[in-house]
Amino acid sequence: MAESLSINGQLLFAGLAIGSVYALVALGFVMIFRATNVVNFAQGEFSMLGAYFLFSLWHGLKLDYFAAMALALLIMVGVGLLFEISIYYPLRNRTFLPVIIATIGASIMFQNGALAVFGPSPEKVRPVVETVEGTGGITLAGVFFDYQYVIILLVTVLLVGLQYLFFEYTILGKKMQATSQDKDMARLLGIPVVYMIALTFIYSSLLGGLSGMLVAPIFFVTHKMGATLGLKAFAATICGGFGDVRGAILGGLALGVIESFGGAYISVIYKDGFSFLVLIAFLLLRPQGIFGEKVAEKA
């Protein structure tokens, strides 16, 4: 009994941990979708870039780990702004399709750019908490808690909370929401739409970069890391209902847990299949996502 409890506890923790990584990336999807009604397929690549910037500053320039992280986040601000100016802005008055294709193009460019600059060998980054004995975690009641995953879970919860407060209770958040719901109306009300959208891209880039830095010690840094993350996060976003912050978080966590238990009790080989089965089920049965969309006519 105690054994099965610890086994299931371990699976639950692993699922929540992986799920919170999906959720973090999914948050980025949601932000940009809310502001622009466009899916940013380069969202996973923001994670990859963040991880590589951290690796270069910490391992390459031998900076202090936390200073390197702060600096890398600063660079991600630039990346987000540049992305908005070069990918979204020129196409802002077109339909959503050219923008989506442009983001796919950017994603290919980022991947191959990273391959060209950093080479094909996977790299390693230290975890936030370094332990002496080297397991990087602690065993409580038969369940091993990886500190890095605990931190990822905490960061996810924190960011979700902040994001919720930001959108519901601040003027800036309201302005951004108004922008996403009706750009023309927002413009008439004197909201600087262009700045709002730029701000969203910057925040999404930061979010992606941070998630990449946090998973780097676990998944390792490769030019492909963003693609895998992006795909699962995309599935999570759809389950949660595009544009719904709570839904994206819940979708991410649910996917992680379903994968973890499905892998243990059904089949490890079909693990990836489970998340896409859930995705298909949602598309067929509840395309509006877990909570449904606030503004039905948005899409």
Partner 1 sequence: MRMRLGWILGLAAVVFVGASFTLASAQAKPIKLGQIIPMTGEAAESGKYHKQGAEIAVDKINAAGGINGRKLQIVLEDDQTTNPGGVAALQKLLEDKEIPMILSSIRSTQVQAMLPTINEAKIPVAIGGTNYGLTHSGSQWVFRFRPHDGMSAKVIAKFLVEELKHKKVASIHASDAFGNGGRDMLVPAVKALGGEVVLDQGYNNQEKDFTAVVQALKKSGATGLNTYMTFGTDLGVLARQIKQLGAQVTWVGSPSITGVDSRNLAGDALYGTYGVTDFHVDASPTSTEFAKAYKAKFGQEPDLYAAWCYDAVLVFAEAMKKAPDLRADNLRKAILNIQKFPGAEGEYNFDQNGDGLDHYHIVQNVNGNIKYFKTLRVAR
The contact set with partner 1 (CB under 8 A) reads 7, 10-11, 14, 17-18, 112, 115, 119-122, 124, 134-137, 139, 144, 146, 218-220, 222, 224, 228, 259-260, 263-264, 268-269, 271-272
How many other CB atoms sit within 10 Å of the CB of residue 111? 21
Q: Closer to partner 1 by CB, 11 or 31: give it.
A: 11
Residue 191 CB, shortest distance to partner 1, in Å, is 41
Which residue number, 104 or 218, has a Cβ lying nearer to partner 1? Answer: 218
Least Cβ distance, residue 11 to partner 1 (angstroms)? 6
CB nearer to partner 1: pick between 262 and 289: 262
Nearest CB to partner 1, comparing residues 272 and 293 = 272
Minimum distance of partner 1 from residue 1's CB (angstroms): 15
3-state secondary structure the chain: CHHHHHHHHHHHHHHHHHHHHHHHHHHHHHHHHHHHCCCCCCHHHHHHHHHHHHHHHHHHCCCCHHHHHHHHHHHHHHHHHHHHHHHHHHHCCCCHHHHHHHHHHHHHHHHHHHHHHHCCCCECCCCCCCCCCCCCEEEECCEEEEHHHHHHHHHHHHHHHHHHHHHHHCHHHHHHHHHHHCHHHHHHCCCCHHHHHHHHHHHHHHHHHHHHHHHHHHHCECCCHHHHHHHHHHHHHHHHCCCCHHHHHHHHHHHHHHHHHHHHHCCCCCHHHHHHHHHHHHHHHCCCCCCCCCCCCCC
Give Cβ neighbours of residue 138 (< 8 Å, ≥ 6 apart): 144, 145, 147
- Judged by beta carbon, residue 151 or residue 218, the one nearer partner 1 is 218
Judged by beta carbon, residue 181 or residue 228, the one nearer partner 1 is: 228
How far apart are CB 141 and partner 1 at their closest, in Å? 14
- Choose between 14 and 99: whose C-beta lies nearer to partner 1: 14
CB of 60 to partner 1, least distance (A): 15
CB of 215 to partner 1, least distance (A): 9
CB of 163 to partner 1, least distance (A): 25
Whole-number minimum distance, CB 120 to partner 1, in Å?
3
Q: Which is nearer to partner 1, 4 or 93 (CB)?
A: 4
- Residue 174: exposed, middle, or buried by beta-carbon count in 10 A (0-12, 13-18, 19+)? middle
